[in-house]
Amino acid sequence: MIKPHGADALTPLFVADEARRNELISNSSALPQVLVSSAAAANAVMLGGGYFTPLNGYMTKADALGVAREMRTEAGVFFPVPVLNLLQDVSFKVGDEIALLDPNVDGNPVVAVQTVASIDQLSQDELNEIASAVFGTLDPEHPGVAAFFAQGPYVVSGAIEVLNFSYFETDFADTFRTAVQIREEIAQLGWEKVVAFQTRNPMHRAHEELCKMAMDATGADGCVIHMLLGKLKAGDIPADVRDESIREMVKHYFPENSVMVTGYGFDMLYAGPREAVLHALFRQNMGATHFIIGRDHAGVGDYYGAFDAQTIFDTDVPEGALEIEIFRADHTAYSKKLNKVVMMRDVPDHEFEDFVILSGTKVRELLGNGVAPPPEFSRPEVAKILMNYYQSL
């Protein structure tokens, strides 16, 4: 199986020993109580599950600036996005243990205990530099930029011990999986070549066929559909609706035992190219050998070029930094001429009107009116679930 990033084995920071975990939970009430941002809580969940291997906690200010400038931590570890605990203010000191409170669960339980290694403040110029490098813009209308600047300027670094997986393990019990769990399941299935597909949206015909194309092209034994379960921007479809629709699609339209439907506990950054590299790193850590990156991967609005998330692997990712292979997909749509879904680059004889293409606005309008999109665009079983959701709004 493919090795994790920068390590021979995963480094999950979840405290698996129950006695130790219960001791930490019991003792945490005597520690400084720190309500962290949703982003920092999601980082804790990802550190706990091994997705951020080989990190052992939150990055320092020097790490964050190094990652922003050249995708390297101070110790030289390749990483595309800073993994931070940013706070508006601090009331503790270096060397303290602090209890990190989860902002996304009622009662704000402790999600992790952190040993504070350093406390540094980012200047506005440094915050701008990090945001510009990661998101490619400082536009406050960009949802990732807005979330980043809302967290605060204080960088609190240090190792953490993760006590739970926030709301993901309870709200998405059938879907949420750590990198450790996915690796174990891949090994049990005996899969050697594994394609991973990232989604924050329901999957339409084009997505379905793209997974099949990638599996065929790579000779993969199976596909892991790996959906983001964390916070999204306003207007995106909730994770439970996406989960239901994807499972229905897989049940009807993929060969049995060829697909794993899973999810991970992270908030969407909408960081385009940088987030595409982060997504590849996640999938290497969970055991996938190939990762699909299509048009406008992890994008939002018009902030990124259609294929910037592919070209970054040629321009900015050093040779050998990641072992996972990228499957580069073009825009995929149903061909009226060929009566099947194709990548547009593969059919140069086609005109635009030869494809079944609907805008997101048009699809939402149809679904909201109780009208299913054409079957060439969306499977009827998926359309039914999405119509029920949009009509419930």
And the tokens for 307?
Answer: 């294929």
379 with 244, same domain: the answer is yes
Catalytic-residue membership of 200: yes
Q: What is the CATH number of the domain that holds 122?
A: 3.10.400.10
Do the beta carbons of residue 63 and residue 157 sit within 8 Å? yes
Q: State pLDDT tens for residues 313-322.
A: 999 999 999 9
Is residue 340 domain-resident? yes
Instruction: Answer yes or no: is 124 within a domain.
Output: yes
SS3 of residue 293 by DSSP: strand
Indicate if 216 and 251 belong to the same structural domain: yes
Question: What domain range includes position 337?
Answer: 174-264+272-392
Asked whether residue 7 is assigned to any structural domain, the reply reads no
Residue 82 domain-assigned?
A: yes
Annotated catalytic residue, options 21, 72, 128, 201: 201
Which of 72, 200, 247, 328 is catalytic? The answer is 200
* Boundary-marking domain end, from 131, 166, 201: 166
* 320 and 198 inside one domain: yes
User: Residue 126 in 3-state DSSP?
Assistant: helix
Same domain, 126 and 203: no
253 and 151 co-located in one domain: no
The DSSP bridge pattern shows strands 97-101 and 118-121 to be unpaired
Position 365 in a domain: yes
Dump pLDDT digits (tens) for 88-121. 999 999 999 999 999 999 999 999 999 999 999 9
Count CB neighbours of 346 within 10 A. 12
Question: How far is residue 347's CA from residue 340's CA, in Å, rounded to a whole number?
Answer: 12
164 an active-site residue? no
Q: How many domains are there within the chain?
A: 2
Classify residue 3: in a domain, yes or no.
no
Q: What pLDDT does residue 359 have? A: 84
* 285 shares its domain with 346: yes
50 and 119 housed in the same domain: yes
| CATH code, domain with 279 | 3.40.50.620
Query: pTM for the full model?
Result: 0.96
* CA distances, 104 to each of 35, 292, 338 (Å): 10, 30, 48
| Digit-coded pLDDT (tens) for 221-270 | 999 999 999 998 888 899 999 999 999 999 999 999 999 999 999 999 99
Q: 315 and 216 in one domain?
A: yes
Report DSSP letters for 61-119, one per residue: HHHHHHHHHHSB-TT--B-SS----EES---S-TT-EEEEEPTTSTT--EEEEEE--EE
